[in-house]
Structure 1
Amino acid sequence: MKISILTIILAFLICTVQAQTNYVRLSTSKGNILIMLYDATPNHRDNFLSLVKKGLFKDQEFNRVIKNFVSQGGELDDTILDREKLNPHAHVQRLAAEIRPELFHKKGALGAGRNDNPEKSSYLDQIYLVEGKIQTDAELDELELKKGIKFSAAQRETYKTTGGIPRLDQDYTVFGEIVSGLAAAKAINEVATDKSDHPLKKEGFTIHILSKKEISKIAKP
């Protein structure tokens, strides 16, 4: 029996979205961005929520913005690595990777930054929002061969219609996705930057954890 691409995509989205219990709102200069955190990546989810509760993401800023790629917030690589160099005998704090093939770098995905470590473990406090671009079948075929991975039919359709960054798949942990506010995220990704990809004008944000009451209203008109 033939199954339409639309049916495959809908089934994929239902499996991804259902039963997610935590949402956060990024208040930015370009508008609000609502993000759903994946229950399938509990350690990244809980670490992120803990940092938000501690106030780490209050009046933060997008400090590295690469057009058609990502908008990054939290600590920069250099800041983290320089601090660690000052304490070479201290335990390096990283979050073990929670890479799942069904959680991919589509446009609007929330990922955890990391350095080039073989375990692919994440920084504790560096996040990025995926902007990316539209992909072609040929580009996806090439990536499958190069990376030794396989994109599902639904993933391919998403990459070909809304875009993303498939070359990051299975190398970085994706632990959430934007459910509303993609236009605001895109506006942030298009701001002017210097040669170091730092916005010329501060692009700040504050993160608020939604209450159960707020979450219950998300699906309501």
Structure 2
Amino acid sequence: MARIKPQALLQQSKKKKAPSKISATTFMFCGLIVVLALFFLYSTYTHRSIRFVDGAYLQDDHGLMDLRKSDIPGYAIFTTSKGPITVELFKDSSPEIVDKFIELCQKEHFKGMHFLRVIKHYVIQAGNTDNLGNTEDWTVKGKHHGQLHASLKHEAFMVGTSKGKRDDKGFDLFITTAPIPDLSEKLVVFGRVVKGEDVVQEIEEVDTDEHYQPKSQIGIIGVTLKQKV
């Protein structure tokens, strides 16, 4: 029997131990599975979660997604032509109105809105010309300050919208500049000015015509929503 040389034995051993090579197709297939799995996880996360970006909430195909109360913005900063006004939102006592307000902020409903009525020592109103209401009704009731009751809603610098129709066009803004005893009869209060009272007073002091409309335009440039200020 012929002897096998040691060198030949070593080569045969290497051939037996050499691992099989992974084909390029298998490698690409495995990589594709990993990428698809990561994409699925990311899509699930972004669909079920909501993120707050630069003061605005993201929406899904069905509108504003449900949020925990702790996630809803607690403040709105109105940038006006006279300066900023920071409003604390009553998200616990007026949740439906606050939700509608946030929705309209997303739609930039208040951007470019003008203050169309200024009644000194009473109220300033921003809104559409078709929704001003009866000026006399406001001014007559505003004279009865002696009937003031102890209520947060009757204080100055409260923010509200008129009762009744509050669709995308009818949601106006009122900021009181004095205690109003019958405020709850006219408005749904959903916030309070916590910073920028001087700006409200500056708007209150502008010259108006006989219909309480400012002679020079004063507008809202934009609204930024914040969780904290």
With the length of structure 1 as denominator, give the TM-score of the two structures. Answer: 0.57
Aligned pairs for 1:1-221 (under 5 A) are 21-39=73-91, 40-78=93-131, 103-114=152-163, 121-124=164-167, 125-132=171-178, 164-212=179-227, 215=228, 218=229
**Counterparts of 2:85 and 2:131, CA distance in 1:** 27
Identify the structure with bigger relative contact order (alpha carbons < 8 Å, sequence gap 6+): 1
SS at match of 1:210: strand
Which residue of structure 1 aligns with residue 45 of structure 2? none
Aligned sequence identity (%)? 30
SS at match of 1:104: helix
Q: CA deviation at 1:45?
A: 0.5
Does structure 2 retain, via aligned residues, the 8 Å contact 1:110–1:178? yes
Q: CA deviation at 1:211?
A: 3.7
Does structure 1 retain, via aligned residues, the 8 Å contact 2:160–2:190? yes
Unaligned runs of 5+ in 2: 1-69, 134-149
Q: CA deviation at 1:53?
A: 0.9
With the length of structure 2 as denominator, give the TM-score of the two structures. Answer: 0.55
Unaligned runs of 5+ in 1: 1-18, 81-100, 115-120, 133-163
Deviations 1:87-110 (A, max 9, x none): xxxxxxxxxxxxxx9541311100
Q: Which amino acid aligns with 1:204?
A: G
Aligned length: 140
Does structure 1 retain, via aligned residues, the 8 Å contact 2:85–2:193? yes
The CA RMSD measured in Å over matched residues stands at 2.5
Greater gyration radius: 2
* Residues 78, 111 of structure 1: alpha-carbon distance in 2 compared, 3 angstrom cutoff: closer
SS at match of 1:195: coil
Does structure 1 retain, via aligned residues, the 8 Å contact 2:77–2:87? yes
Deviations 1:88-139 (A, max 9, x none): xxxxxxxxxxxxx95413111001124xxxxxx353411100002xxxxxxx
**Counterparts of 1:200 and 1:79, CA distance in 2:** 16
Q: CA deviation at 1:208?
A: 2.0
Runs of 4+ in 1 over 6 A off after TM superposition: none
